[in-house]
Amino acid sequence: MTTNAIDQVLDGLIDMHCHSGPSPMPREFDHASGARDGWERLRMRALVAKCHHHNTQMDVLAQRPLLADIPTEVIGAVALNSTVGGLNLAQVQLCLGLGGKVVYLPTVSSGRHIDCHAENLGFPTPTVKLTAERIEVVRDREVVPELGPIFDLIAEHDAVLNGGHLHPDDISACFAAARERGVRNFVVSHPDFVIGADPRQCSSYIEGGALIEHELHMYDPGAKMRWPVEQLMEWISALGPENTLIGSDLGQAGFPRPVDAFRRVAEALLDLGLPEKDLRRIVHDNPRDLLSLTD
């Protein structure tokens, strides 16, 4: 397919997982620059700005003058790691109350992530010294009580709960507890990276209302890809495009822009036989509905 034809399929896409700056990790671009590039080249509808270390909705508000003339919406999020106080209700109140839409359970502070550091999985080095404290979400087979009010607030705002970098069983436990408190929107990111969830486990998440998000960082040749695109195609075939999201997981210094990665991986998926309507559903319809956006 030509670039123009691919761009028509990707027109208005939503990047569910963008590591734009500022961040204590070296970044290639900030939120406004990422949004402008996305709009000018693909008419990107929105991007979710993710940082493992702070509430990005504050960034969005601070960069409002830079975003004013960019139609791409930048959506803030908070990851419940040690740098925001862990399972900190006040941080969730701040993020969602000021317009953020995504709450991540512990990522870099999860036991699973900390254990993976020993596996040399290529995590970037921060520019400042950060303390990585292990945060437990399940204790004695029960979800810790600190999560209850957080789930209530996510439900109140109809926001998205992401499973973070937790162990698969802990994701299941947290999602079940959150559903009981009214949370409706769930995402599991890169199940085969750090988390270690197989398709069977992901099917159980889907049965509970979750979408499964895969990351271009893992599949784009320009991002020193970890896996062949055929593996992503296998996931989509196994779980269905209606249950799939794609995020870039890009923004790291020296790595490609999300637009370029979306183009390359989209072309590869289409060449493997993924119907255009299914790709469109994955990059546009599913995240639009999840985030309650309009076209």
Domain architecture of the chain: domains with CATH? 3-290 (3.20.20.140)
Of 109, 110, 150, 111, nearest to 130 by C-alpha is: 109
- The pLDDT tens digits for 81-127 are 999 999 999 999 999 999 999 999 999 999 888 777 655 455 667 77
User: Residue 170, Cβ neighbours under 10 Å: how many?
Assistant: 22
- The pLDDT tens digits for 28-75 are 999 999 999 999 999 999 999 999 999 999 999 999 999 999 999 999
Are 111 and 134 in contact by the 8 Å Cβ rule? The answer is yes
Which DSSP string corresponds to 153-175? HHHHHT-EEE-TT--HHHHHHHH
Report the Cα–Cα distance between both ends of the chain, in Å, rounded: 25
Q: Which residues pair with 161 in a beta bridge?
A: 103, 186
pTM: 0.95
Considering only 126-135, 143-152, 213-222, which range has the smallest mean pLDDT? 126-135
Strands of the sheet with 46-49, listed across from one edge: 14-18, 46-49, 73-75
Are 250 and 217 in contact by the 8 Å Cβ rule? The answer is yes
Are 82 and 107 in contact by the 8 Å Cβ rule? The answer is no
- The pLDDT tens digits for 167-181 are 999 999 999 999 999
Q: Is 276 exposed, middle or buried (0-12, 13-18, 19+ CB in 10 A)?
A: middle
User: Residue 240, Cβ neighbours under 10 Å: how many?
Assistant: 15
